[in-house]
Structure 1
Amino acid sequence: MPLPLLLLLLVCSSQASHYHGTVMTYYPKNTNADGSMTVELQYNLNFHCSLDITSWTCPSNNCGTVSSEVAHSVTKDSSPFEWCQRDGIISLEGPTNAPFQLLLSGGDWINFIRNSIGSVKAVTLVELRNRSDTNQANRSPQTNILAVVRVPSNCPRDFNLLTFDPDGDQVKCRYANSTLSECDQCTPPSVLNLSTSCTLSFSPTDSINEGPWAVQLVMEDFPTQNITLTQTDGVQTTITTNNAISKIPLQFVFNVDRAVPSCTEGLYLPKFLPPTPDNRAQLYTPVNQTLEISINATANISMISDLLFSGPYNMNQTTLGAGQFILSWTPSENQTGKSHPVCFVVQAVFNSVTYQSELRCVIVNVGYDPYLIPIFVGLKMKVSALSSLSEDYIIDNIIKVVRAEMLSQGVPSDFPLSLIRAKLV
């Protein structure tokens, strides 16, 4: 079945103001003997709960065919920002590992967006060619976000967005660009400053700027050294440290609320307490074992009402008491070897006004736990070459092959790996 037909989330019969944002990431699954490639696309789509008319399509019709697709929707928040999230996983089979683009469009952003953005558009560039540094297909950066993040107009706050790349690449952020056809209306929110390291900074502003703003970001991965990408037909392309490899969209609503009597965390604004994990922390869990993430927060004046989170579709939330929550998740076999982003905020209410804590996001790696005791592996290899090879060259390539296999099994890219002793004959 052609991709544009199967990727439709709902038939679009009319324009509507419903959209709250999206995130899409991807993981290559395998390269088949005939050169075809299978990739798993993972997306979150946030929308007003009574409407869902947005669709992912393949404009160039070169994305292959869909072998499977699953999607789950759940209500995440209540008025005035009632939104639902659709978590989708699409397995896509292409004839080669050539790059392709996916386009999200249909409908409009929610009403009263302050930076005058109406129509929905987001672009994902899927790059699956084989990398010379890992000897594997490229993987996209991993990130997540909530549909709506909010801050009082008189409170400064930095949003350090989640940036994790399974290949160890440097991740950078920028606003979507109309010249690159990444958005139809590309006006950035004037109340935010964006760094290339993916930190959004908000400074106190006048009440005239209160209300919802559309944030349309592009997240890209850059290699830390020059690499070569090899296509199925043998064609090679050199990528320098100044060239982006792939790109994913990161779009959401940023709401500037009315001023709060005090910006001190723990009074009106919820404050996280231990053992809540730090922002950008990396967590590890084996397959079929339940991971529990404890989240504690306090607010002395306002009353903590709930926890909002975005993570794997089968992650569950338990409320233990005021400001005490647990997120639990049991990964399955098909989720091993992958990294799964989870973002959350705690909300509190005072006199019918809602306040959010800072945004925190973590990465959950499914597979090997690097904090266990060291593992020693004995290897016996026979190397043949047409010309003489230096000892350093052989050792470096042995480590490269071993690291590539470890990455494929879910070991983080920054895991220390060294060759204790080598005997060359």
Structure 2
Amino acid sequence: MTVTMLLLFLLLLLGSQANHYYGTVMTFTPKGRTYNGSLMVVFHYKLSFRSCTDKDTWNCVSSDCGTESVELNIVEEEDKEWCQREGVMTREVSSSISFFQLRLDGGDWVKTKNKVVKWKAVTDVDLRTRLDTHQPNKSPQTTILPVLRVPSNCQRNFSLLAFDPDGDKVQCRYGDTDADECNPCAPPTFLSISQACTLAFNSVIRLDEGSYAVQLEMEDFPKQTIIVHQSDEQTSITPRDPLSKIPIRFTLMVDLPVPSCSEGVYLPKFLPPTPANGARLYTNDTVNITVMAEATNARILKLMFSGPHDVVKHAVSHGEFILSWTPSENEDGEDRPICFVVQAEENTAKYHSELRCVIVSFRTEPIITTPAPTTVLPSTTPESTSTLPFSEDSSRVAKIAGGVCGAAGVATISGIAIWVWKGSPHIFYKVV
């Protein structure tokens, strides 16, 4: 090999390694105070790169963000195309600190059609105590896969998970370049995001096929004016004022046209007992999530997910999978998001199902219901009850016993419909 050829090879290698970023997302949960009054805050974030060895760090851009410890673990990999890792960052923050901001920036994104090169993501944290909850604010809880695929000739909606532990109203929007939220933000023209966090894709021409950087912001707003305080200072927060801001970054792959846009033909279609999008699952031990899908003209090959790094994935049979997660004691009181898609293939084409997400609420203490008449009915079929969506109006939801029932059944307790899955300590419910 000549010197010239060697230099060209090295340049190509370095160029391919430079374009390696697929996205990120970050959430946070205040956990409690130490003996000296400092607040412990746990941040869960995802870093998505081409390789599991690529990495970047979140930096404090405020005067003081406390002291930190960080642990990184692999969540999911996809055939050397991408790797997502979860970072668990614990910060001990002085009681004198009310606000701070964390930032992730660097380069380069994977090659994108909307010409985004450098990456940037910002998280805004407000740790003042809310008088309505008597605790510091918790951010919305969400996650996202590094890559979502859609055929260029199909319209599709992506319903992003937007769960708020405090019961606040969650809204989504595109990042703002002028506000220094991304570099640049450059939203794709064929994508629109609603305040309710539904991303709508409109079909495009063949020239628009390729990869796109999607850069969103998620914020939580109180449903009515609340008071927050730090030391002796009190401030009113109105429903127009965001309490926190977290970033959502991922890559949208616009693929070749598909012969049929109907779900269940080439694009995988979810089947019962797959949980409904937005379902909330309570657990005090291990939770098992069954996912089933079909595609008559393509082969269901894999389930891909984003969630806690210690979720274990099992392939049960063709088109059937189980996600199993056992939370640690340190995660008591947390609400953890898990999102997933099923991928089918036909020749070299890859097809994704819709995006589905659930919230897993881990509680070690017994959850006690208020006294009320209880009616237990014979079980019918999981298909009719196992995918009840979660109501965001948490103020109306009574607490539900977290133990495991000895048999499957449907119960009505204090106006709440509950499906208890036999042999699994989790519960689907909604207000009725």
TM-score, scaled relative to structure 1: 0.82
Q: What is the RMSD computed on CA atoms of the aligned residues? A: 2.2
Mapped partners of 1:22, 1:251: distance in 2: 5
Q: Which amino acid aligns with 1:241?
A: P
Mapped partners of 2:396, 2:313: distance in 1: 30
1:358 aligns with 2:354: yes
Alpha-carbon deviation of 1:367? Answer: 1.2
**Hey, what does 2:19 align to over in structure 1?**
17
Alpha-carbon deviation of 1:75? Answer: 4.5
1:374 aligns with 2:365: no
Alignment of 1:38-53 (within 5 A): 38-49=40-51, 52-53=54-55
**Hey, what does 1:285 align to over in structure 2?**
283
1:312 aligns with 2:308: yes
Mapped partners of 2:368, 2:89: distance in 1: 37
**Hey, what does 1:348 align to over in structure 2?**
344
Q: 1:416 aligns with which of 398, 403, 406?
A: 398
Identity of aligned residues (%): 49
Is 2:292–2:321's contact at 8 Å kept on the other side of the alignment? Answer: yes
Q: Which amino acid aligns with 1:374?
A: T
Q: Which amino acid aligns with 2:268?
A: P
Q: Which amino acid aligns with 1:247?
A: K
**Hey, what does 2:407 align to over in structure 1?**
none
Q: Compared with structure 1, are the counterparts of its residues 177 and 151 closer, same or farther at alpha carbon in structure 2 (3 Å cutoff)?
A: same
Q: Compared with structure 1, are the counterparts of its residues 162 and 295 closer, same or farther at alpha carbon in structure 2 (3 Å cutoff)?
A: same
**Hey, what does 1:182 align to over in structure 2?**
181
Q: Compared with structure 1, are the counterparts of its residues 414 and 176 closer, same or farther at alpha carbon in structure 2 (3 Å cutoff)?
A: farther
Q: Compared with structure 1, are the counterparts of its residues 369 and 39 closer, same or farther at alpha carbon in structure 2 (3 Å cutoff)?
A: closer
Which segment is superposed worse, 175-184 or 159-168?
175-184
Alpha-carbon deviation of 1:54? Answer: 2.2
What SS is found at the alignment partner of 2:184?
coil
Is 1:103–1:123's contact at 8 Å kept on the other side of the alignment? Answer: yes
Mapped partners of 1:414, 1:293: distance in 2: 26
**Hey, what does 1:152 align to over in structure 2?**
151
Mapped partners of 1:196, 1:247: distance in 2: 14
- Give the number of aligned pairs: 365
**Hey, what does 2:241 align to over in structure 1?**
243
Is 1:53–1:107's contact at 8 Å kept on the other side of the alignment? Answer: no
1:322 aligns with 2:318: yes
**Hey, what does 2:74 align to over in structure 1?**
73
Q: Compared with structure 1, are the counterparts of its residues 214 and 325 closer, same or farther at alpha carbon in structure 2 (3 Å cutoff)?
A: same
Q: Compared with structure 1, are the counterparts of its residues 50 and 85 closer, same or farther at alpha carbon in structure 2 (3 Å cutoff)?
A: closer
Q: Compared with structure 1, are the counterparts of its residues 51 and 221 closer, same or farther at alpha carbon in structure 2 (3 Å cutoff)?
A: same
**Hey, what does 1:252 align to over in structure 2?**
250
Alignment of 1:85-234 (within 5 A): 85-96=84-95, 97-111=97-111, 113-231=112-230, 233-234=231-232
Mapped partners of 1:91, 1:374: distance in 2: 33
Alpha-carbon deviation of 1:38? Answer: 1.4
Mapped partners of 1:54, 1:92: distance in 2: 18
Q: Compared with structure 1, are the counterparts of its residues 319 and 413 closer, same or farther at alpha carbon in structure 2 (3 Å cutoff)?
A: farther
Is 1:55–1:106's contact at 8 Å kept on the other side of the alignment? Answer: no
Mapped partners of 1:376, 1:71: distance in 2: 44
**Hey, what does 1:404 align to over in structure 2?**
none
Mapped partners of 2:168, 2:35: distance in 1: 28
What SS is found at the alignment partner of 2:65?
coil
Q: Compared with structure 1, are the counterparts of its residues 201 and 63 closer, same or farther at alpha carbon in structure 2 (3 Å cutoff)?
A: same
Is 1:211–1:257's contact at 8 Å kept on the other side of the alignment? Answer: yes
Alpha-carbon deviation of 1:51? Answer: 5.2
Q: Which amino acid aligns with 1:110?
A: V
Task: Provide structure 2 residue ranges, at least 5 long, that are not aligned to the other structure.
Answer: 1-13, 373-392, 400-413, 415-432
Q: 1:274 aligns with which of 269, 272, 287?
A: 272
Mapped partners of 1:46, 1:212: distance in 2: 15
Mapped partners of 1:135, 1:310: distance in 2: 31
What SS is found at the alignment partner of 2:148?
strand
Q: Which amino acid aligns with 2:298?
A: S
Is 2:125–2:244's contact at 8 Å kept on the other side of the alignment? Answer: yes
| CA offset digits 1:158-212 (Å, max 9, x no partner) | 1111000000000000111122211120111112111011000112111111111
What SS is found at the alignment partner of 2:62?
coil
Is 1:158–1:202's contact at 8 Å kept on the other side of the alignment? Answer: yes
Q: Which amino acid aligns with 1:283?
A: L
1:337 aligns with 2:333: yes
Mapped partners of 1:33, 1:290: distance in 2: 32
Mapped partners of 1:300, 1:335: distance in 2: 40
Q: Which amino acid aligns with 1:261?
A: P
Mapped partners of 1:50, 1:160: distance in 2: 28
Mapped partners of 1:39, 1:95: distance in 2: 11
What SS is found at the alignment partner of 2:281?
strand
Mapped partners of 1:91, 1:54: distance in 2: 17
| CA offset digits 1:340-365 (Å, max 9, x no partner) | 00000000000110000000001001
